[in-house]
Amino acid sequence: AILGPPEVNITSCPNCLNVTIKLPASHFRQEGKLQSLIDIYEELDYDITLKSQDGEHKSPRQRTTEEVFSVVIEELYPSRNYCLSVGVTASLNKNSVPSPWKCVTADSEAQQGYHEAAVAGAVCVSLIIAAVLKCVHAAGFIFPKFSLPQTLV
């Protein structure tokens, strides 16, 4: 039997990726109940292959006894695109199909407050422009209160 591809979901965190892995379903039944791969093999091995502009890196093989589990890949470069695929094998069955490649961009810590800083900056610039216009108006350069003599026009 070939172990099907696991279901993989990725969420981005500051300088890291949070990978949630759901083991593939089995087609074996016992007493009418569909058995999970953990029921059959007790534990499974998995590895994560990560691609970026630096190349391809394969994590060391790790074990799990859970149907759904999460792994955090840390120390990534911020604002860089990463793609990953997960392969699952059992000690008695090395035949498997890895998950399709999924891609995401790692967040950077600087981006967290970027929106608030941009809005605050825009408000400050608007206040400065309003103050300058008020001063120019008070000095009589725009919308003067007195009309100029005909000779100066």
Domain segments of the chain as ranges: 7-106, 111-142
Residue 84 has pLDDT above 90, yes or no: yes
Calculate mean pLDDT across residues 98-124. Answer: 78
The three-point CA angle 13-48-23 to 5° equals 95
Calculate mean pLDDT across residues 13-20. Answer: 92
Written in H, E and C, the secondary structure of the chain is CCECCCEEEEEEEECEEEEEEECCCCCCEECCEECCHHHHHCCEEEEEEEEECCEEEECCCEEECCCEEEEEECCCCCCCEEEEEEEEEECCECCECCCCCEEEECECHHHCCHHHHHHHHHHHHHHHHHHHHHHHHHCCCCCCCCCCCCCCC
Better-predicted residue by pLDDT, 140 or 134: 134
Residue 114 has pLDDT above 70, yes or no: no
Calculate mean pLDDT across residues 42-49. Answer: 94
What pTM did the predictor assign?
0.68
Percent of the chain at pLDDT exceeding 90: 44
Give 147's Cβ-side CA count (13 Å radius): 4
Residue 75 has pLDDT above 60, yes or no: yes
Calculate mean pLDDT across residues 72-96. Answer: 91
Query: Residue 124: pLDDT band by 50, 70, 90 thresholds?
Result: confident
The three-point CA angle 97-18-37 to 5° equals 35
Best-predicted range by mean pLDDT among 35-39, 49-53, 130-134? 49-53
How far apart, in Å, are the Cα atoms of 4 and each of 9, 58, 101?
A: 16, 19, 14
Cβ atoms 51, 82 nearer than 8 A: yes
CATH number given to 7-106:
2.60.40.10
Phi, psi of 126 (to 5 degrees): -65, -40
Q: Please report the pLDDT score of residue 65 as a whole number.
A: 94
Q: Please report the pLDDT score of residue 19 as a whole number.
A: 96
